[in-house]
């Protein structure tokens, strides 16, 4: 992987030595201007995030009163959210955690299984299967939401648990995208040498053991990254949620917070921001930890083919 290699070179002090001999003008022309661009980019990237944090701490909590730097601090909005006076926020949080983790986990696991089959076995219809998978995944589920709605409302007549306005019902709809990560993961499977599993098979392992004991452990960091990307994808799902989850205790954060904001856009901003911070911060921290894999993972599809 290229990222760690780059980081080692930057920690070696040697390349910095010539800098001291450079005149300021030369330094600026070569490197200094890059800092200016970098700082401008950082400002652009960060100000909406700062705005959210600031709005969440500003006790007034209206659009008009919020600026980038808060003049007063208060945890009022956090308190009012957590105490449940603006709707069952903790319930939404729990629903979201359940939906995101289940869907992301199932999605990655089923994708890994399928990717294993596509990478390690040669069978009839393999090529066409891979290509049609790519095609089908391009069709957004939103387009067929009317059909999904009737299907789920029918299903609810027989299995109420999986019907309209229920978290499990919403969850299984999202599982429709279970094979979404096959291509990415297959690319990584292809990089693990086949000799490895051939050796294991000679030692008496069956295909399931090769899968769980040889291939999966080799790909754990990548799978964790895929899991994270898929998790954030599900977290942002809004449309299907807003159609299917109508009663307050079944909503996810995206649907619930949107409801709060659209109810009274200017006055509920502070509460919305507080909720957003509580979602955003864990994700941003996770991204920082997995940064190296995310950089590797997002390009791998293109570079490795």
Site residues for another protein, 155-174, by CB under 8 A, read 155-160, 163-165, 172-173
Among 191, 212, 264, 291, the residue binding another protein under the rule CB under 8 A is: 291
* 110 versus 219: smaller Cβ distance to another protein: 110
Q: Is 29 in the site for another protein (CB under 8 A)?
A: no
For residue 189, count other CB atoms closer than 10 A to its CB: 21
Q: How far is the CB of 80 from another protein (least distance, A)?
A: 18
**Segment 92 to 131, residues that bind another protein, using CB under 8 A:** 110-111, 113-114, 116-118, 121, 123, 126-127, 129-131
CA distances to 5, 212, 226 from 2, in Å: 5, 28, 19
Q: How far apart are CA 253 and CA 90, in angstroms?
A: 9
**Segment 193 to 212, residues that bind another protein, using CB under 8 A:** 204, 206-207, 211
Q: 144 near 177, Cβ under 8 Å?
A: no
* 117 versus 218: smaller Cβ distance to another protein: 117
Using CB under 8 A, which of the segments 74-82, 83-91, 191-199, 284-292 binds another protein?
A: 284-292
* 33 versus 73: smaller Cβ distance to another protein: 33
**Segment 67 to 96, residues that bind another protein, using CB under 8 A:** 67-68
Q: Is 153 in the site for another protein (CB under 8 A)?
A: yes
Q: How far apart are CA 268 and CA 116, in angstroms?
A: 48
Q: Is 21 in the site for another protein (CB under 8 A)?
A: no
Q: How far is the CB of 242 from another protein (least distance, A)?
A: 9
Q: Is 264 in the site for another protein (CB under 8 A)?
A: no
* 220 versus 302: smaller Cβ distance to another protein: 302
**Segment 221 to 240, residues that bind another protein, using CB under 8 A:** 232, 235-236, 238-239
Among 8, 13, 143, 220, the residue binding another protein under the rule CB under 8 A is: 143
Q: Is 254 in the site for another protein (CB under 8 A)?
A: yes
Q: How far apart are CA 134 and CA 139, in angstroms?
A: 9
Q: Is 249 in the site for another protein (CB under 8 A)?
A: no
Q: How far is the CB of 202 from another protein (least distance, A)?
A: 11
Among 94, 179, 200, 219, the residue binding another protein under the rule CB under 8 A is: 179
Q: Is 214 in the site for another protein (CB under 8 A)?
A: no
Q: How far apart are CA 277 and CA 279, in angstroms?
A: 5
Using CB under 8 A, which of the segments 75-83, 84-92, 218-226, 293-301 binds another protein?
A: 293-301
Q: How far apart are CA 94 and CA 100, in angstroms?
A: 10
User: What does residue 95 show for φ and ψ, rounded to 5 degrees?
Assistant: -55, -45
Using CB under 8 A, which of the segments 73-81, 85-93, 215-223, 277-285 binds another protein?
A: 277-285
Q: Is 141 in the site for another protein (CB under 8 A)?
A: yes
């Amino acid at each position: 992987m290229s990222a760690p290699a780059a980081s080692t070179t930057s920690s070696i002090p040697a390349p910095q030595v010539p800098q001291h001999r450079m005149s300021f003008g030369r330094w600026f022309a070569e490197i200094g201007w890059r800092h200016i661009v970098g700082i401008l980019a950082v400002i652009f990237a960060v100000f909406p995030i700062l705005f959210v944090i600031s709005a969440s701490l500003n006790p007034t909590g209206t659009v008009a009163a919020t600026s980038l730097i808060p003049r007063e601090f208060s945890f009022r909005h956090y308190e009012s959210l957590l105490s449940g006076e603006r709707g069952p926020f903790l319930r939404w949080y729990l629903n979201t955690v359940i939906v995101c983790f289940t869907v992301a986990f199932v999605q990655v696991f089923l994708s890994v299984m399928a990717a294993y089959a596509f990478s390690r076995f040669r069978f009839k219809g393999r090529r066409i299967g891979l290509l049609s998978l790519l095609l089908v995944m391009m069709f957004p589920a939103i387009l067929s939401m009317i059909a999904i709605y009737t299907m789920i409302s029918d299903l609810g007549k027989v299995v109420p648990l999986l019907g309209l306005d229920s978290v499990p019902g919403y969850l299984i709809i999202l599982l429709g995208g279970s094979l979404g990560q096959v291509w990415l993961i297959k690319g990584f499977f292809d990089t693990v040498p086949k000799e490895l599993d051939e050796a294991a098979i000679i030692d008496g392992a069956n295909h399931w053991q090769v899968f769980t004991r040889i291939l999966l452990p080799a790909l754990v960091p990548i799978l964790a990254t895929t899991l994270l990307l898929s998790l954030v994808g599900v977290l942002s799902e809004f449309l299907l949620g807003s159609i299917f989850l109508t009663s307050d205790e079944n909503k996810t954060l995206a649907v619930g917070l949107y409801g709060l904001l659209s109810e009274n856009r200017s006055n509920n901003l502070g509460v919305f921001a507080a909720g957003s911070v509580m979602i955003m911060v864990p994700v941003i921290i996770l991204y920082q930890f997995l940064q190296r894999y995310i950089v590797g993972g997002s390009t791998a599809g293109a570079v490795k083919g």
